[in-house]
Structure 1
Amino acid sequence: MKLRILILIVLLSTGILSAQESQPRETLLGQNSFKNVGFAVTAGVAGASFDGSSVLVGMSRAGAVFSDKIGIGGFYNLSLNDFVPESETEPNTYMDFRWVGGYVEYTLRAHKKVHFTFPLLIGGAELELDREGASSTQFGEANFLLVEPSALLELNLTKNIRLLAGAGYRFAGDFAYRSIESADISGFSGQIALKLGIFP
C-alpha cells in the first residue's frame, strides 16, 4: 500500500513539474523582449566633390537593428585625402573634413539575397584649412549641419556580412568659410561599404 502511494506521489510530482516547465517564463521586461533586436557595424568609403576637389570620405557607423528593418545609431565620417578647394588661393595649404552624428536606416525585404536599404545621416560637420608642415591651423574652422539621405543596394554575402553600394546626396546647412559656401559642399556621393552584424 505504501509503495502504491509513493509511486502515485512521484507520478503526480513529475506531471506538475512538466506542466510548469512548458509554461512561458515570466520576466521583468516581458517575454522575448530582445528577440527582434540585433546589432550592426558598417565601414566603407564614399567619393565626393567639395568645391571642385575630389574627396575620399571614410565612413563608419554602428547601431541597433530592430526586426532587420530599422537601424538606429551613430556615425563618424572623415576625409581620407588632403584636398585643396579650387577657390583656395593660399599656397601650401590643404583642407580636412569631419562629420559626426546619428542615423536612422530602413531596410526593405532584408531576407532577400539582394535588397535595398535607405540610411539617413544627420550631424555636425567641420571644415578646416591647414598649412603644410604647420603643427596647428591658423585659418580657423567652419562648423555646420549636414544631412545625407542615401539609397543603397545591399547584398547578403553571408548570414552576418552584407555588401552595400549606391549613392547619397549631401544637404549642407548655411555657412561660409573662406571662399566656400554650403552649395560647394552639397552634392552627390557614390558609396561602397561592408556591414557586419547580428541580424534578428
Structure 2
Amino acid sequence: MKTLTLLLAFLMAAGFAFAQDDYQNHEVETIFSNQRSNGGYGAFTIGYTQIDGRDAMVAGARGAFIFDHSFAIGVAGYGFVNDLEYHNYQSNPEDRFFLAGGYGGVFFEPIVGGTKPVHVSFPIVVGMGGISLVEHTNWDRDYYHDYQEYDTDLFFVFEPGVELEFNLTRFFRMAAYGSYRLTSDIELYDTNPDVLRGFNVGMTFKFGKF
C-alpha cells in the first residue's frame, strides 16, 4: 500500500512539473505577446474495468476550465456496473447479485504540450461516491426482471490517470486513457473491502474551446 501511495504521489508531482515546464516553454515561444489563451470543455468517457472479479463498464462526464493550454480544473462524475453477463442468471443463480454505483468530485488536469496535435495529460479526480449490492429478484423469469438493493455504502475516491490525446479539430479532441481507482474500504455484505480498487482503460471525447 505504501508503494502504491508513493507511486501515485510521484505521478502527480511529475504531471504538475511537466505542465509547468510546458507552460514556461510556451511563454518563451510567444515572448512578443502578453496574451493568454483560456478556454473550457465538456467531455464524456466510456471505459472498461473489473469489479469483484467480473467485467464492468464505467461511463461518465466532466467539465473543466482550461488555463493557457497547460492546466484544467472542473468537476467529474462516473457511474459503474458489473452486471455485463445477465444471460448467465438461468444457469448460475449466484450471478443474480451485482454491484452498481457512482462517484464524482473535483477534477484536476495538468496538460503537457496542449497545443501539439498529439500530447498527454494527467487527470486526477478527488471526491466520494456510493455503491450498492443489487439483486435480480425475478432472475428465474425469462422476460421480467426486477431489482432490489441488498446493501449500500459510501466511499472516498482518489483516481489519478494519464491520457494520450489527439487534436482532431479546433473544437474536438479524442483521448485514450488509463487510470487507477483508489477508494476507502467498502463495507458491503459478502464483499471485499477493496472491491473497487483497480485499473480503468477507455476513451474520452472532448468538445470545447481549447
Partner of 1:175: 186
2:83 matches 1:82: yes
The percent identity for this pair of structures is 24
Using a 3 Å threshold, how does the CA distance of structure 1 residues 56 and 135 change in structure 2: closer, same or farther? closer
Q: 2:202 — aligned with what?
A: 191
Report the alpha carbon displacement of residue 80 of structure 1 after superposing the two structures with TM. 5.5
Aligned-pair distance for 1:100? 1.7
- Change in Cα spacing, 1:183 to 1:40, as seen in structure 2 (3 Å) is same
TM-superposed deviation, 1:81: 5.7
Cα displacement string for residues 112-166 of structure 1 (whole angstroms, at most 9, x for unaligned residues): 11100110011112111222244642x2311101111001100100111111002
What's 1:51 paired with? 52
SS at match of 2:194: helix
Unaligned runs of 5+ in 2: 1-34, 86-92, 137-144
* Preserved CA contact (<8 Å) 2:81 2:98: no
The two structures have a TM-score, normalised by structure 2, of 0.70
2:38 corresponds to which residue? Answer: 37
Q: In 2, are the aligned partners of 1:172 and 1:182 still within 8 Å (CA)?
A: no
Q: What amino acid sits opposite 2:49 in the alignment?
A: A
Q: Is the 8 A contact 2:113 2:120 kept in 1?
A: yes
- The answer for the alignment partner of 1:63 in structure 2 is 64
Distance in 1 between residues matched to 2:81 and 2:36, nearest whole Å: 38
Q: Quick one: which of 111, 117, 136 aligns to 2:121?
A: 117
The 8 Å contact of residues 57 and 77 in structure 1, kept in 2 or not, is answered as yes
Equivalent position amino acid for 1:160 in 2: F
Q: State the number of aligned residues.
A: 161
AA at the equivalent of 1:67: D
| Aligned-partner Cα distance in 2 for 1:115–1:91 | 42
In structure 1, the partner of 2:4 is none
- Shift in Å, 1:193: 1.2
1:90, CA displacement in angstroms? 5.6
Mapped partners of 2:121, 2:48: distance in 1: 19
TM-score for both structures, normalised by structure 1: 0.73
Runs of 4+ in 1 over 3 A off after TM superposition: 133-136
Query: Relative to structure 1, is the Cα distance of residues 135 and 192 closer, same or farther in structure 2, using a 3 angstrom cutoff?
Result: closer
Q: Is the 8 A contact 2:72 2:108 kept in 1?
A: yes
Aligned with 1:104 (options 105, 108, 124) = 108
Please give the root-mean-square deviation of Cα atoms over the aligned residues, in Å: 2.2
Aligned residue for 1:6? none
State how far apart, in whole Å, the 1-side matches of 2:84 and 2:54 are.
6
